[in-house]
Amino acid sequence: MSTPAEKLNGLTLQNGWIVGNVIPQKPGHTGGHFSCSYEVQNTDGRDAFLKAMDYSAAMASPDPAAELNALTSAFLFEREVLEECAEKKMSRIVKAIDGGKTTVDGLLVEYLIFEPAKGDIRSHLDTTGGFDLVWTLTCIHNICVGVQQLNGASIAHQDLKPSNVLEFAAELQKLADLGCAWHKTRYSPRDSLACAGDMGYAPPELLYAFTAPDESDRRFGADFYLVGSLVLFLFTGVRASQLLISELSPDHRPVAWGGTYEEVLPYLQHAFSLNLAAVRASFADAKLGDEISDVYLQMCDPNITTRGDRSHKSKYGSRFSMQRFISRFDRLRTEAILGRIRHS
C-alpha cells in the first residue's frame, strides 16, 4: 500500500512546482528509508529534484507522537543545515532551492526541493564503460572539498557513500543528503545513535559500538574514514569496512565479538595491513599505487587515535583536515592529464 509521500505524482505544490515521476531506488543502493524522491518542474520551466518525508511509519509505531516528533525534528534539522550551507556558499554541497508542505489522504507531507543533478556517482559508474582516471581523481578532489567545507563549519556529514555524491557535470560533484549530519551547535535526533549513517559504510569503531571520548574526533574521524572508503570504492569497487571484515576470522567480526574494541583492535590492524598490501599491489602503475595506498593508510586506519593526516603536527587545526588531500588530488589529477600516472 502506498504511503502519502508516495502519492505526489501529478500534484502542483507551492510556488508552482509540478511533481513528476518518482525516482526509484536502484538495486544495491542504500538510504532513503524515510523519504521518497521525485522529478519536479516549475511552471517557469526549471527542473529540480524533490525529497518528500515519509511519516507513515511513525503513525504505525507503538508511540506515534514520539516517533513523529523525531522525524519532523530531523527534517527541520536538515533544512536548517542546508540553509546554513547555502548562506556560507558551500560550492560542493547540494543546494536546497525551495521547500514546503502539503497534505495527502489527510496526512502531512513535508518536502525539500534541490538543484537538479545528472545522478549519483554510482549511476555514473554503472552507465560509463571503462575506468576514467581523470574523472575519478576529479571526483575525489570534489568530495574532499565538500567535506572540508562542512567540517570547517563544525558539521560532519556522517553518511558519505556513492549514492550521496551527486554529479552535475564531468568535473563537478557535490555532497547530498545531510539528514544524518552532526552539527556542533544544533541538535539532531540522530545525535544519540551509535551510528547515524549507513552501517554498511561505517568505520570499524562504530561497527563495534566504540565511542571515542572526544566528540569532534568521533564525528570528523568518521568523515575522514568515509572519504577514504569512497577513494577505495572508486578505484576497486569495494567499501573499506567490507574489505577489512573480509580478512577477519568469524569470531572477530562485529556480529560475533563480545569483547571491547581495544581488545579486537590488534586483529583489525593485522587485517588492515593485509588490505593495505593488497590495495598497493592492485595498481599496475607503482606511483599511483603508492599514492592511493598512502591515502588509504591515513584515512582508513581502524585505530581512530592514529587515523588522520600524518603530516599534521601543529596543536592548532585538526588531523582530520582535508586541506592536504585537496591539494594532493589536484596534483594527481594534473599528473593524470599530462600522462605522468596511469591506471593501467
Tens-binned pLDDT, residue by residue, of the chain (344 aa) = 789 999 999 999 999 999 999 998 765 444 445 689 999 999 999 999 999 998 887 888 889 899 889 889 999 999 999 999 999 999 999 999 999 999 999 888 999 999 999 999 998 998 887 899 999 999 999 999 999 999 999 999 999 999 999 999 989 999 999 999 999 999 998 998 889 999 999 999 999 999 999 999 999 999 999 999 999 999 999 999 999 999 999 999 999 999 999 999 999 999 999 999 999 999 999 999 999 999 999 999 999 999 999 998 777 789 999 999 999 999 999 999 999 999 97
What pLDDT does 188 receive? 92
Buried b (16+ CB within 10 A) or exposed e, 267-291: bbeebbeebbeebbeebebeebbeb
Both 290 and 255 in one domain: the answer is yes
What pLDDT does 30 receive? 45
What pLDDT does 332 receive? 98
Q: What are phi and psi of 135, to 5 degrees?
A: -60, -45
Question: Which amino acid is residue 136, in one-letter code?
Answer: T
Both 106 and 76 in one domain: the answer is yes
Both 274 and 306 in one domain: the answer is yes
| Long-range contact set of residues 65-73: C-beta below 8 Å, sequence gap at least 24 | 70/189, 71/34, 72/110, 73/187, 73/188, 73/189
Neighbouring CB atoms inside 10 A of 262's CB total 10
Which phi-psi region, left, alpha or beta, contains residue 89 (left: φ > 0; alpha: ψ -120 to 50)? left
Q: Considering the domain boundaries, does residue 64 fall inside one?
A: yes
What pLDDT does 290 receive? 97
Both 182 and 331 in one domain: the answer is yes
What pLDDT does 58 receive? 83
Q: What are phi and psi of 246, to 5 degrees?
A: -65, -25
Q: What is the CATH number of the domain that holds 101?
A: 3.30.200.20
Domain range spanning residue 150?
119-337
Distance CA 127, CA 328 (A): 28
Q: Please choose, from the candidates 160, 165, 152, the residue with its C-alpha nearest in 3D space to the C-alpha of residue 300.
A: 160
Q: Considering the domain boundaries, does residue 38 fall inside one?
A: yes
Q: Is residue 119 classed exposed, middle or buried when 0-12, 13-18 and 19+ CB atoms within 10 A define those classes?
A: middle
Contact 343, 288 (CB under 8 A): yes
> How far are the Cα atoms of 1, 19, 113 from residue 11, in angstroms, in the given order?
19, 5, 14
Q: Considering the domain boundaries, does residue 342 fall inside one?
A: no
Both 160 and 283 in one domain: the answer is yes
Q: What is the CATH number of the domain that holds 210?
A: 1.10.510.10
Q: Would you call 67 helix, strand, or coil by DSSP? A: helix
Both 213 and 67 in one domain: the answer is no
Q: Give the bridge partners for 273, in sequence order.
A: none
Question: Which amino acid is residue 120, in one-letter code?
Answer: D
Both 76 and 161 in one domain: the answer is no
Last residue of a domain, one of 73, 96, 114: 114
What pLDDT does 31 receive? 45
Q: At what angle do helices 215-236 and 133-152 cross, to 10 degrees?
A: 170
Last residue of a domain, one of 114, 147, 174: 114
Both 85 and 135 in one domain: the answer is no
Q: Considering the domain boundaries, does residue 343 fall inside one?
A: no
What pLDDT does 26 receive? 62
Both 171 and 210 in one domain: the answer is yes
Q: How many structural domains does the chain have?
A: 2
C-alpha grid cell for residue 239? 567499501
Both 28 and 107 in one domain: the answer is yes
Both 313 and 198 in one domain: the answer is yes
Both 79 and 158 in one domain: the answer is no
Last residue of a domain, one of 84, 114, 144: 114
